[in-house]
Structures are given as structure tokens and as C-alpha cells.
Structure 1
Amino acid sequence: MAVSTPICDFGWKAPDFALPGTDGRTWTLDGIRGTRGTLIMFICNHCPYVIAVRDRIIRDARDLQALGIGVAAISSNDAAAYPADSFENMQRLAQELALPFPYLYDEDQSVAKAYDAVCTPDFFGFDAGLGLQYRGRLDASRKEAGPPDLRRDLYEAMKQVAETGQGPQEQIPSMGCSIKWKDAA
């Protein structure tokens, strides 16, 4: 079942975290933070919405990093129920795709909860002061990648944040698979 993200809560402050990365490092928000903004993405290995646009996520991350935007991706899915999303499989995928950003594991799902992440992919674009400026989609792709000439909504929004400190007032929610939450004990 597809889920959409809520409307951007402009200025909402990014919660800090310390998460293990597929590169063997422990990453914090401050370690990811860019001089002109920060993009935190909730993704996972198995979601068809993410798989359809992985190449675009990588392209946009590289282009945004060149603009001074720090970028990281976080997987928060229950790996016991979805073994494709295990940390070992995250490490394998990060290496296979040569991800240009840290890919972090939120095993206890506390970071996803702190961010109120709802789906994969879910994009949180922050200004240089870590105030939320974008909570929209990558582009108009859905479960299948759209045509190559689609407007790059995430890239254009974060470019605007890098240049002006402000995200676009009009944002189209991201859509994807729900985060796979662990059963409450």
C-alpha cells in the first residue's frame, strides 16, 4: 500500500542522531551537515519505489553535494521481517552502487520516529541552520521510473534552499512503501 508524506513543517529542527554507516563509521547529523543545507533520506533496499529511482537519487545526491548540501540515507525497516533490508545487505548494496553518501542503519527505528518518517523514499531537506525547508518528492516517478526529462523536484528545491535558505512554498508529497515498523512488544 502506497503512503504519502505530510506537508512540510517549515523551520522544524532536524533531530540529531548517531547511527552506524555501511562504511564502518558512526555518523551524526553534524557529521553529515552541509554548509548550505542537509538532505536526510529514508530509503531501504527492497522498496520498489526506491529501486525505480535509485539512479536518480544517486545523481541528485552528487549534484546537491556539489552545491554544499550534506546528504545521507537512512534505512529504518524491520530487518527481521524484511531480510533484504539487513545491515549486511545494506553494506553490499552501498558497495555495489558506490553510494556517494553515507547509508545509515536505524535498527531501533528511533530516528525514523524522531523524524516522523512514513515511507520509503521520504526526503527531508534542511537549510544551513537545520530548519526543514522541503518534504516533497524526488520527481513524478512512482513504482516505475518516469521519463528521463521529468522535473527534478528534490534537486530544484534543494538548489533553491542552497541559494536562498528557503524551500518552495508549493511541494508535492513523496509517495512510497510504508516504513516497516517492528511489532510493539
Structure 2
Amino acid sequence: MASTPQVCEFGWPAPDFTLPGIDGRRHALADVAGPRGTLIVFMCNHCPYVLAVLDRLLRDARDLQALGVGVAGICSNDAVAYPSDSFANMARLAQERDFPFPYLHDESQDVARAYGAVCTPDFFGFDASRGLQYRGRLDASRREEGAPDLRRDLFEAMRAVAETGRGPAEQVPSMGCSIKWRAA
């Protein structure tokens, strides 16, 4: 089922976290933060919305890192109910696709709850002081990859954050599969 996150609450502080990465290390927010901003992406391995934009996300992550923006991906889905989102499968996908950022596992789902993440992909773009500046989409792609000339909404927003400290006043929310929450 498709979900859409809330609009950006400018200045909202990034919740701290420490999560295991597929590289065998634990990563805190401070470890992944960049000197000019930080992008936290809630994503997973099986969502058609993520898979439709994955190549573009990897491209944009590399380009943003070159501008001093730190990037991390977080998978918070229930891997028992969705085995394709298991830690082992996260590592496989990241290796196959050469992820340029840490891919972290939020098994307890506490980090997704702290951020208010609702879908995959769900993008949280923070300024250098870790205040929220972007909660929009990557581009106009949906369940299928969009045209090659689509505006790079996420990249352009985070480039502005890196250069000015501010995200765009108008943002189009991301859309994706709902986070797969564990049964209560």
C-alpha cells in the first residue's frame, strides 16, 4: 500500500541513533553526518518504489557526498515478515549495487519511529546543524522509473542546503510502500 509522509517541519532536530551497518560496524548519526548536511534515507530491498529510483539515489548520494553532505540508508522493515529485507539481503544488495553510503539495520524500528518515517523511500535532509530542511521526493518517479530528464528534486534541494543552509520552501512529498511494522 502506498504511503506519503508529512511535509517538512523546518528546523526539526535529527534524532540520534547508533545502528549496525552491513559493513560490520556500528554507525551513529555523528558518524554519517557531513560537514554541509546529512541525508537519511529510509529504504528497503523489496519495495518497487525504492527499486525504481535506486540507480538515481546512488547517483545523487555520490554527487551529494562530493558537496560535503553525509548520506546513510536505513532499513526498518520487519525482516521476519519480509525476508527480502533481512540483514544478509541488505548486505547482498549493497554489494551488488555498490552503495556509496552506510546501509544500516533498524531491527527494533525505534529509529524509524523517532524520525516519523512512514514509507520507503522516505528522505530526511538536514543542514549542517542537523535541523530538517527537506522531506520531499527524489524526483517524479513512482512505482516505475521516470524519464531520464526528470528534475532532480532531492539533489537540488540538498545542494541548496549544502550551499545556503536552507531547503526549498515548496516540497513534493515522497511516495512509497509503507514501513513494514512488526506486529504489536
1:161 is aligned to 2:161: yes
List aligned pairs for 1:30-179, cutoff 5 A. Answer: 30-179=30-179
Structure 2 portions without partners, runs of 5+: none
Partners of 2:20 and 2:105 in 1: CA distance: 6
Which string of whole-angstrom CA distances, capped at 9 and with x for unpartnered residues, describes residues 67-89 of structure 1?
Answer: 00000000000000000000010
Deviations along 1:149-182, whole A, 9 cap, x unmatched?
A: 0000000000000000000000000000000000
Q: Which amino acid aligns with 2:69?
A: I
The TM-score with structure 1 as length reference comes to: 0.99
TM-score between the two structures when normalised by the length of structure 2:
1.00
1:98 and 1:150 map into 2 onto residues whose CA distance is 23
CA distance in 1, matches of 2:167, 2:138: 14
| CA deviation map 1:119-163 (0-9, x unaligned) | 000000000000000000000000001000000000000000000
Moved over 6 A (4+): none
SS at match of 1:41: strand
Question: What letter matches 2:130 in structure 1?
Answer: L
Residue 5 of structure 1, CA deviation = 1.0
Aligned residue number for residue 13 of structure 2? 13
Distance 2:92 2:55 in 1: 16
Counterpart of 2:26 in structure 1 is 26
In 1: Cα distance, 2:128 partner to 2:179 partner: 27
Whether 2:180 is the aligned partner of 1:180: answer yes
SS of 1:149 mapped into structure 2: coil
- Number of residue pairs matched by the alignment: 184
Secondary structure of the structure 2 residue equivalent to 1:150: coil
% of aligned pairs identical?
Answer: 72
Q: Aligned-residue CA RMSD in angstroms?
A: 0.4
Where in structure 1 are there 5+ consecutive unaligned residues?
Answer: none
**Which whole-Å CA distance do the structure 2 matches of 1:97 and 1:22 have between them?**
13
Structure 2 CA distance, aligned partners of 1:23 and 1:152? 29
Amino acid aligned to 1:145: E
| CA distance in structure 2 between the aligned counterparts of 1:131 and 1:5, rounded to whole angstroms | 17
